[in-house]
Amino acid sequence: MKATAKAPANIAFIKYWGKADESLRTPLNDSLSMNLTGAYTITTVAFDPSYAKDQVELLDGEFSDAETARVIRGLNRIRQKAGSELYARVVTKNTFPKGAGSAASASGFAALTVSGFAALEKSLSEKELTIFARLGSGSACRSIPDGFVVWEKGDSSETSFAWSLYPPTHWDIRDILVIVDSRMKKVSTTEGMETVATSPYLAQRLSAIPGRMQEITQTMRERNFVRFGEIMEEDCLDMHRVMQTQVPPLMYWNTATRTIMDTVVGWRNAGLPVYFTIDAGPNVHLICEGKDEARVLDALKNIRGVEEIILNKSSKGARIISEHLF
């Protein structure tokens, strides 16, 4: 009764910000993302009659009490669905800084969901797995299917799930994740989303998303990188406008973030097709096509304040692997 899963983080091109239902973690809008080869979580779960309580361990780091409680709530949902009352041991590790706005909770809950059900030998459809992952962390549902993934907002728990729009081989898109601050972000996404309705720009954002989803999907079908990048960047700035105009305002960018944003526009003007997107933190994802990655990396050498660079291609979704962490 032990299983290990590897799940990718994902970067959203059309972003999720705001919940329709807080406890079900159903979103206010559809979103679209790419799974990442270079940023992932590996989790081993074992259920055993000899355990007297759940044990949760993060290698190379530490979970807060609140984070541990959230993992245990995830285990409870898995146990309930699989009809088990056994306690579990969970050991997990990330390849990237936790809580730095690079979707550690997405890969974390995707890996927990897939390994947990496998350990209890309960087989679920991919759609069901995305729904269970979503209950742990909304964006985690997008880390389950392969490649480029759509999360439909739906209008209930059963209709809010994720599916693969294109496999990783469809388009050679790169995400150069530029870490400018690896510390824990101040305001979590869960907390930040609670006040989303205080932004006067929320309604405008929500009405723009269906058209944006449709258009970006078309650019992906046609592999039209420039228009794809424009829509993606527009949606990032739109989400941050909502964040920054909430009460209290959420400012996730720092000086290095701003420098990179400005510099990218300059690179583009000089003929280098690269666009940025940013989640709930200061780190910047530079999105380009495979043919331009070396030029972007070269240009990045001149930027100050870069702590680490993580290179990503489009990845498969969460899957079972044979090597356990304990």
Residue 159, helix vs strand vs coil: coil
Q: What amino acid is encoded at 250 in this protein?
A: L
For residues 266 and 273, what is the distance between their CA atoms, to the nearest angstrom?
A: 10
Let me know if 201 is exposed, middle or buried by CB neighbors in 10 A (0-12, 13-18, 19+): middle
What separation in angstroms does the CA of 8 have from each of 40, 106, 273?
4, 8, 25
x/- site string to ligand PMV, residues 159 to 198, per CB under 6 A?
------------------------------xx--------
From 29, 31, 84, 115, residue interacting with ligand PMV (rule: CB under 6 A): 31
Measured from the CB of residue 279, what is the shortest distance to ligand PMV in angstroms? 4
Measured from the CB of residue 110, what is the shortest distance to ligand PMV in angstroms? 11
Measured from the CB of residue 142, what is the shortest distance to ligand PMV in angstroms? 7
From 41, 43, 105, 160, residue interacting with ligand PMV (rule: CB under 6 A): 105
Count of Cβ atoms closer than 10 Å to residue 184 Cβ: 14
Cβ closest to ligand PMV, residue 120 vs residue 150: 150
Query: Which of the stretches 43-51, 55-63, 86-94, 134-142 binds ligand PMV when contact is defined by CB under 6 A?
Result: 134-142
The verdict on 216 binding ligand PMV (CB under 6 A) reads no
Rule CB under 6 A: which of 138-157 touch ligand PMV?
138-139
Query: Which of the stretches 8-16, 210-218, 260-268, 313-321 binds ligand PMV when contact is defined by CB under 6 A?
Result: 8-16
Measured from the CB of residue 138, what is the shortest distance to ligand PMV in angstroms? 4
Cβ atoms of 26 and 146 closer than 8 Å: no
Cβ atoms of 178 and 149 closer than 8 Å: no
For residues 55 and 152, what is the distance between their CA atoms, to the nearest angstrom?
A: 33
The verdict on 110 binding ligand PMV (CB under 6 A) reads no
For residues 178 and 283, what is the distance between their CA atoms, to the nearest angstrom?
A: 6
Query: Which of the stretches 57-65, 131-139, 154-162, 258-266 binds ligand PMV when contact is defined by CB under 6 A?
Result: 131-139
The verdict on 137 binding ligand PMV (CB under 6 A) reads yes
Measured from the CB of residue 135, what is the shortest distance to ligand PMV in angstroms? 11
Residue 66, helix vs strand vs coil: helix
Residues binding ligand PMV: number (CB under 6 A):
14
Residues in contact with 64: Cβ distance below 8 Å, sequence separation at least 6, in sequence order = none
For residues 78 and 121, what is the distance between their CA atoms, to the nearest angstrom?
A: 11
**Residues making contact with ligand PMV (CB under 6 A):** 12, 15-17, 31, 105-106, 137-139, 189-190, 279-280
